[in-house]
Chain A
Amino acid sequence: MTDATTYTFGLDTFGDRNADASGTPLSHAQTIRNVVEEGVFAEQTGADFFGIGEHHTEEFPMPAGDVALAAIAARTSRIHLGSAVTVLSSDDPVRVFQRYSTLNAISGGRAEVILGRGSSIDSFPLFGYDLADYEQLFDEKATLFAELLKGGPVTWEGKTRAGLLNQDVVPHTESGPFPAWIGVGGNPESVIRAARLGFGLALAIIGGRPARFAPYSELFLRALEKFGRAPLPVLMHAPGHVAATDEQAKAEFWPRYRDIITLMAPQRGFAPPTTSRFDWETGPEGALFVGSPGTVARKIAANLRTLGATRFDLKYGMPGLTHEQLMTNIELYGREVIPRAREMLAAS
């Protein structure tokens, strides 16, 4: 039997700060300009989606990804553009809707949003939110965002922002809601929330066996049924790096990955990285999609099948990689990984 499922393939960046070939960090401004070039190039090489994840740090200077997406939108015609993720808990859902509805207008209907509760929590103190409230913040704001997406006047009341009474929120979309997802990092209660509110499920997998998320896809589909909703898609997001050979990809990625995980380990509770763990994570069982086009394509196809997912977004880059390395990654991903993964999925 031929698999008629349509698969799509995206690229995500967190605005990872670039370095030059000698290892000297580029400016934040140059990194952002490079991200715009990378987004334009992603379309040329064949990617279906380009996403920018909100971050507020020295290593990831990308708090306003929607502005960069608008620049990419003006220079592209086909690729979908979205957040990956928007930290909704510390943002205003009305503003988020307005920014992405504007992006949707500029791009001729190519905007998407992935909403996150925020595992990267730098935005909370920055905008004056209390981390202890993150569950209520996210739940209320995601509920309001679902209302805003429907279009038409919104009536809403909650504790985390001013209520709305029959409020028209502009700009209106031309053809209904744009695609919206909830990013989930391992909490089954978040899976239920995505289904309840009618968002797609974005599984953010950054370590360990991705296969452990398979029950979440099943949980999502069953929960959609329970809430009387039509089926919605499942997306897998995972980090990686593509180069000509497995050895080259690992050699480029490892020192940058080691440095950033070591930096984040104390705050995020990550174990300090070891080469043996890295070898496992980049192998067939792990969550890092690092290798040659063939290796990465095989791993993507296998994981999409296991998870019942129809979209894969590769989070490319790491702080300290060069723009040229990232452009090579994008080229190999678009021109080689995507067609090969599609072929494997069609043949299965």
Chain B
Amino acid sequence: MTLPPPPSPPPIVVPSVGDAVGHIVQPSWVLLAYLIAGICFIFALRGLSSPQSSQRGNRFGMVGMAIAVVTTLAIHEIANMVEIVIAIAIGGAIGLVTARRIAMTAMPQLVAAFHSLVGLAAVLVGAAAYLNPEAFGIVQTLTGGSGWTLFAPLSNPLPINPVSRVELGLGVAIGAITFSGSVIAFLKLNGNMSGKPILLPLRHVLNLGLLALILGLIGYFTTDQSAWVFWTITALSFVIGFLLIIPIGGADMPVVVSMLNSYSGWAAAAMGFTLGNTAMIITGALVGSSGAILSYIMCRAMNRSFLSVIAGGFGGDAAAGGAGGGAIDRPYKRGSAEDAAFLMSQAEQVIIVPGYGMAVAQAQHALREMGDLLKKEGVSVKYAIHPVAGRMPGHMNVLLAEANVPYDEVFELEDINSEFARTDVAFVIGANDVTNPAAKTDKTSPIYGMPVLDVEKAKTVLFIKRSMGGAGYAGVDNELFYRDNTMMLLSDAKKMVEEIVKSLG
């Protein structure tokens, strides 16, 4: 006996504009276009694996962006095209002029400023989506006749579907943290604010409490989409971004800048989820992982955990210099520019170790001139770069490239460290902690375990330093200054190099 087939359920009526989550259903060519844009962005990063392919990669990035923008404009009914064109023109002009005028030494500040703009843009987009959910296709599509109008507050007649509310909340929160954090990072890097960490009492409790509150509110947002919930999430996120970065000292900025880079990616990804847009999701994921990996590389190069950097406070009493306080009176050898010029012109190989001090003094051009003169004398000249030299990843490489130093003369720590033992002169300009042998030997030192450049193995070490007083950012005295094979060149980095150039010429 066979049962008659059960009556088929009545067809579920789904409005044709939305899919199950409520995203606007896009024609397949649009999905394809966004996918191509995403792939272009992958190529943009892929190109950076070597300087030869990098410029082509950058052009891929531009093409990807153009595809994403044009596709978006093509599929939306545009109320007023003129406004949009004007907005792009204003932004484009500001961007191009800034990019052309900015000094290479100011690159860390510029990157921080750019991060803040991405963060703020994410907040604005999130707010716009909250105010006009229909345009973003995130209105809850209901299949039954439960009559959602009964549950929606009058001020906000269209209910946003719950998944999108979480995405919106997260996107706005990450965007706001990126914005206020980057503004603080910018002010510190640009010198408008002291690079010293500002330590509030109970800051960890405060930050964790705020974070829990924000997450709780995002959860609550799924049940109540009132305006106060949304704006409180936004405001609290601005506050926490500010609180997270103020306790972090200037020298930890490479990690902070990388971390904010990562956040700006996650913010874009969260907005991509809201819009169901593959280009945004792929890009967000790429940028997010990129920043995370850079943060990891920077932390490893300082032998510190990510958490300890974020907790902040490192280098807080650098000026007090507990360890180095009494050591200033120790005897050291002081040399002149002529001595340095003589030593280097007699050498077979010179390795130059640049640090943040070179950037501050803008000494890279004079340095390259010195390198050229030495090469003319038959000296082999190489550059050794520690991963955390400077204020952002790769900072020194860009400055040397700006001064026309060929990139195949510039080496990373692990590639050149074995060469110091076979080198006549190590020329340290504006670097300190990254050369400190205490990191290898002194277990009590705050920088113990950090990988350092083995400059002390060179026959002679020349150290350009402004004065003997100041210690490095870690507040540690450098044993190297007082060794027999070290000669201190006490002067402004640029002036000293220029004098050396004069005596060589």
Q: A and B: partners?
A: no
B-binding residues in A (CB < 8 A): none
Partner-A contacts on B (CB < 8 A): none
